Structure 1
Amino acid sequence: MSEQFSVEAGLVVFSRDGRVQFGWLDLQTGAFYGEADGLCIPDAIGAIEFHSDVTH
């Protein structure tokens, strides 16, 4: 796919207990939320950007 999309990067969010999940950051509150359930990840300790050229 060579088409450009204007979508921000997703995040891979790391939790204190070692779990990892796809998520997003609320820019107003600084809280991370899980992509699968939309719930806040209160014990998130960090995240890295995830870029993909495939969407679903």
Structure 2
Amino acid sequence: MPHEFSVEAGLIVFSQDGRAQFGWLDLQTGAYYGEADGRWIPDVIGAIAFHSDVTH
């Protein structure tokens, strides 16, 4: 990726097409990105924080 992101918690991001995916919010730009591919998610309608006691 071309620059570092300011990230707080992992998120479950919901988009207008009904999909939910793991992602993060860039705190500087307010844009959401998918964890699987790192791409910008343009049609976000909401997100909730995701916390787990297991990492991979």
Q: TM-score, normalised by structure 1?
A: 0.84
**Structure 1 segments unaligned to the other structure (5+ residues):** 1-7
- Letter aligned with residue 10 of structure 1: G
Query: Number of paired residues?
Result: 49
Does residue 12 (structure 1) correspond to residue 17 (structure 2)? The answer is: no
Quote the offset at 1:20 in angstroms. 0.4
**Structure 2 segments unaligned to the other structure (5+ residues):** 1-7
Does residue 44 (structure 1) correspond to residue 44 (structure 2)? The answer is: yes
Give identity over the alignment, percent.
84
**Structure with bigger gyration radius:** 1
Q: What is the Cα-based RMSD across aligned positions, in Å?
A: 0.7
